[in-house]
Amino acid sequence: MTDKEYRELCGKSETEAQNRLYEEYIGYVYAIVYNKLRSCAGNEDIEECVSDVFLAVFLNYHNNKGFDGDLKGYIGTIASRKAINRFHAISAKNGRTVSMDESFANIPDNSRIEEDAEKSEMRDTLLRLVESLGDPDSTIIFQKFYYNRSSKEIAKKLSMTSGAVRVRCSRALSKLEKLLSREGITLKEGL
């Protein structure tokens, strides 16, 4: 959901807009909050922080009429800040004076929950859009880019000529590129 789509939906029904925003970004927000609080908070604190993030977004986003940037970035920033504040509050309450850097020192660098959540979201979007192309276009795209099969192999599997597969693949990629651009993803990122 983009900033423009959210504001348009708010004009029609604020509740519907909030529900759609929540459904689309709950996994992303949870990943950010969990990543920051997992060393010091229980599930209840994490879920409460996630709720606080959405409350802050719902209350403050409408007042910021001049903003028309990246909605996901805005939500991610709020989530990160709320989680850091909650981390400090929990640490102070428990009498701990450990910095966040020290608490995450033993977590390997390749543990990127936020990045994994974004990649997972992109994969789901890509899968949905490729499937929306219908057969045989979706089959051709999957065979070519997922299974790394040649046009000749795909043609044999689909009882088509290699030339027909190449033409359909080219057209399907053009359609897919347009669908991805509506989602804010480039074809290169998607594939």
Please count the CA atoms within 13 angstroms of the CA of 15 that sit on its side-chain side. 0
Q: How far apart are CA 103 and CA 91, in angstroms?
A: 11
The CATH number of the domain holding residue 123 is 1.10.10.10
Three-state DSSP class for residue 56: helix
Residue 110, pLDDT score: 47
Boundary (domain end) residue, out of 77, 92, 109 = 109
Q: How far apart are CA 181 and CA 173, in angstroms?
A: 12
> Which tokens sit at 47?
């879920």
pLDDT digits (tens, 9 = 90+) for 77-106: 888 888 888 888 887 776 655 555 545 544
Determine contact, residues 10/56, Cβ cutoff 8 Å. Answer: no
Structural domain boundaries enclosing 180: 115-190
Q: How many domains does the chain have?
A: 2
Q: What is the CA radius of gyration of the chain?
A: 22
pLDDT digits (tens, 9 = 90+) for 149-175: 888 888 888 888 988 888 888 888 888
Residue ranges of the chain whose pLDDT lies below 50? 102, 105-110
Residue 25, pLDDT score: 84
Q: What are phi and psi of 61, to 5 degrees?
A: -65, -40
> Which tokens sit at 85?
């504040």
Residue 122, pLDDT score: 76
Q: Are residues 184 and 144 in the same domain?
A: yes
Residue 95, pLDDT score: 65
Q: Are residues 104 and 120 in the same domain?
A: no
Q: Are residues 102 and 122 in the same domain?
A: no
Residue 58, pLDDT score: 78
Predicted structure pTM score: 0.48
